[in-house]
Structure 1
Amino acid sequence: MPNKTIYVSDDDLPLFQRATELAGGKLSAAISTALRRYVEVEEGREEGYEEVIVKVGQGAAVRKQRFSGVLLGEWSRMVGQRTETFRVYRSRKGKYVLHLERSPEWTDSMTRDSDNWLSGLFSREALRTYLGLADSDWGFIQGEATIEVLDTFEDLRGRVPDEFYAMITDLGRRPVVEDLDI
């Protein structure tokens, strides 16, 4: 196996020492793992894909999952007293990813800590959430999110609203990046 010399600045030495500790004393294994991940992400980015992180689960069991993909479309609808948000991605490996978030049912519990529902609706924290300045994780308290990986675009039929499927049908068949000869 060939040897490669890596020169490390004094400022980066603690980073390399910590990586060696985390890799069980094998710095080459840590470097190979990091480079493999770096190449995968950068090649995907060159092809038009982005790193996607979604929340999956319910309540305290929420976890984050990551993959490389491109968003084909997003669709929200009201079903009874809750909101459903569908997001469809095409993964770098050619699969289709359906991420579905279902909010908790809307009740006056959203504003129960205020004197009346109107003041709760326009509270400082509610306004920050509406404006996107605060994390809107409230939907995971009683709501849920799922992820489903599908082999073909046609597998989405029946899993998403018909209007949404029709809207993204053409997008699912196009290349992520189209090279123009201009």
Structure 2
Amino acid sequence: MDEASDESKKEQMAIVHRYVDKKGYIQERFFDLVHVKDTSSSTLYSSICETLTSYELVVENLRGKGYDGSSNMHGEFKGLQALFLKDYPCAYYIHCMAHRLQLALVAAARELASGASYKRQDELQASKAAEIAELLESGEINTGKGANQIGTLKHAGDTRWSSHFTSISSFIRMYNPLCTVLENIK
């Protein structure tokens, strides 16, 4: 389960159902998208229970829940996991592996970026400028207003997945110059 604001600034909770099928295979399916008035643990708790019950699923059969590590989710006394464990002792909390991976990748990227000197950043931009000049000369790209900007690498946010598109897009644009700079460092 995860929650986020949509474009209209309404809080939405996405529920993914993970289960073992009759053949013993683990299945994972998008289950529902539920509007919630706020992201307090009590609101999320009642929304999850209501949603599962509305699909005639028995909440007592819940064996695990996975979500991020924010205090409203994993808080030991008032978090969502505490509310579930109080009523359903077999429903264990598991910190979502996608969120863990996300936090690890962001930390590694931040470490690399903060270690990048101005000299390296200047070298990266000079390499990109040389690439643009070469592509213009060969006719592979055209000139135009706002075209062929040098740019820089953008960093992804810690927990907002939407920032990754910008980060990956900048990485793709800067891939060749980045390889050149890394070869020079090597």
TM range (shorter): under 0.3
The structure with higher relative contact order (CA 8 Å, sep 6+) is 1
TM-score (norm 1): 0.24
